[in-house]
Structure 1
Amino acid sequence: MKRSRQRGTTERSQARRAELIATGRKLFADTAYDALSVDDIAQHAGVAKGLIYYYFKSKRGYYLAIVEDSVAELVARAGSDTDLPRGERVRRTVDGYLHYAQHHQAAYRTIVTGGVGSDAEVLAIRDAVREELVATIAEGAYGRRSVPPLARLALIGWLSGVEGVTLDWIAPGTPGPVPPREELGALLVRTLRGTLTVIEEFVPECPAPPPS
C-alpha cells in the first residue's frame, strides 16, 4: 500500500510538472522572456509561485526545462518509424521535423536560434539536438548513427540549410504563397540525396542509399 501511494504521488508530481511546462510553452510563445516574472507565470498557471521554484529552482531553470521538453518532442517526432526502409525513413524524418516546426513555431525558433540572447546552456541544448538529428539522419541513410568526420560535417551543413529554410517558411509575413509541407519536404529530401551522393564521393565507406 505504501509503495502504491508513493507511485501515485510521483505520477501526480510528474503530471503537475508537465502541466507547468505546457503552460510555459504557451506563455513564452507570445511573451518575451524578460517580460515574464515568476509571479506572472504562477498567475497564468493558477499555482503559488513557490511551486515553480519547487520544480525548477528559478525562472531560468523553468525556461531551460521548457526548451529541453521541446527538444525531446522534436527529436522524438523526427526519429520515429525506425522499422521503415531507409529511403522512406529519411522522408518521414524530414516530414516529422517540418511538422514539428509548423505546429510549434515559437518552440522551434527557440531551439534553432538559441533562445534568450546568447544563453550558453540554451546554445548547448541547441547543439545537442543538432547532433541527435544528424545521427538520426545518418541512421536512416546508412543504418548507423556514427559516421566519419567529413560525412558528419556534410550532414551538419545540410541541416544548417534546413534550419534556415524552415525558419523562413514559418516566419510571419513571408512574401508570396507558402509552399505546403509536403512540397518543401520533397525539396529538402532531394537536397539531402545530393548531399549523400557527394558524401559517397569523398567518403566511400558511406554509400548513398539507393533511390526508393
Structure 2
Amino acid sequence: MNNSQQRGPLVPPAARTSARSQARRGELIAIGRKLFADTSYDALSMDDIARQAGVAKGLIYYYFKNKRGYYLAIIEDSVAELVQRAGSTHDLPPAERVQRTIDGYLRYAQHHQAAYRAIVTGGVGFDAEVMAIRDEVRERLLVTIAHAAWSRTDVPPLARTALIGWLSSVEGVTLDWIARRELERGTVAALLVRGLGNTLRLIEEFEPRCPAPPYPGL
C-alpha cells in the first residue's frame, strides 16, 4: 500500500479553508443570536459585539460587512431553523404533521423570543429586508400546510388569502403568548390547530377544489 492510499483522499486547501471559514461564520452567528437575545439592536455597537464575542472587530466586518449585515445573517439563520422545524414532519400522518408543525413553531418562539419578534415584526423599525425574510417564512409555512391539507402546493388565490389570514393570527397569538406567559404551550397549540380547522372548512365553502380534510381534532 503506498503513502497516498494510507493517507486517504486529499482535501484541496481551498476546500479546507472554506470549511473553516463557514465554521467560523457559524460561530459568530451563534454568538450574535445570544447577544441580540439580551440586548436591543441599537444598544449594541460593533465594538461591544467584538468585545463580548472575544474577537477582533475586523473579523466581523470581514464576514458580514457591517452591523446590519451581521444582524440580517442572524435573522436568516433563525428563519432557517424555524422553517426546518416546520418542515421536519413530512413523514407523519397529515393530522399529526399539522399539530407537530404548530407545536414546533411555538416551541421555537418560546425559546428564541428575540429572534422570533424580529422575524414577525420586521426587525429594526420597518426593515424591508427583514420583512422579505418574514414573507419567506410565511410562504414556506403556507406550502407546508397546503401539502398536509390537500397534498398540493399550488394554492388557489382564495385559499391562499384565507391561510395568510390564519398565519397572521398565529403570529399575533404567539407574540401575545410569549409576552404574557399565561398559558401552556399545548393549550395555545390546540387553539391554533382548531383555528386552522375552521379556516380549512371556510375555504371549502368558497373553493370546492380545496376540501377540508376529515382530520380528527381539526
Structure 2, unaligned runs of 5 or more = 1-8
Aligned to 2:148: 140
* CA RMSD, Structure 1 to Structure 2 (Å): 1.4
**C-alpha distance in 2, partners of 1:8/1:81?**
34
- Which ranges of 4 or more aligned residues in structure 1 deviate by more than 6 Å? none
Aligned to 2:79: 71
1:30 corresponds, among 33, 38, 59, to 38
Greater gyration radius = 2
Q: What's the TM-score, normalizing by structure 1? A: 0.94
Please list the CA deviations of residues 40-61 of structure 1 after superposition, one character each: whole Å capped at 9, or x if unmatched.
1111111111111111111111
**C-alpha distance in 2, partners of 1:146/1:76?**
21
How far 1:3 sits from its partner (Å)?
3.1
The percentage of aligned residue pairs carrying the same residue is: 72
How far 1:116 sits from its partner (Å)?
0.2
Aligned to 1:207: 211
Structure 1, unaligned runs of 5 or more = none
1:101 corresponds, among 102, 109, 120, to 109
Aligned to 1:5: 13
Look up the SS of the partner of 1:3 in the other structure. Answer: coil
Aligned to 1:121: 129
Aligned to 2:185: 181
**C-alpha distance in 2, partners of 1:4/1:180?**
52
How far 1:4 sits from its partner (Å)?
4.1
2:56 corresponds, among 30, 39, 48, to 48
Alignment partner of 1:190 is 2:190: no
**C-alpha distance in 1, partners of 2:126/2:88?**
31
Look up the SS of the partner of 1:179 in the other structure. Answer: coil
Cα contact 1:86–1:143 (8 A) shared by 2: no
**C-alpha distance in 2, partners of 1:85/1:208?**
16
Please list the CA deviations of residues 119-145 of structure 1 after superposition, one character each: whole Å capped at 9, or x if unmatched.
111111111211111111111111122
Aligned to 1:163: 171
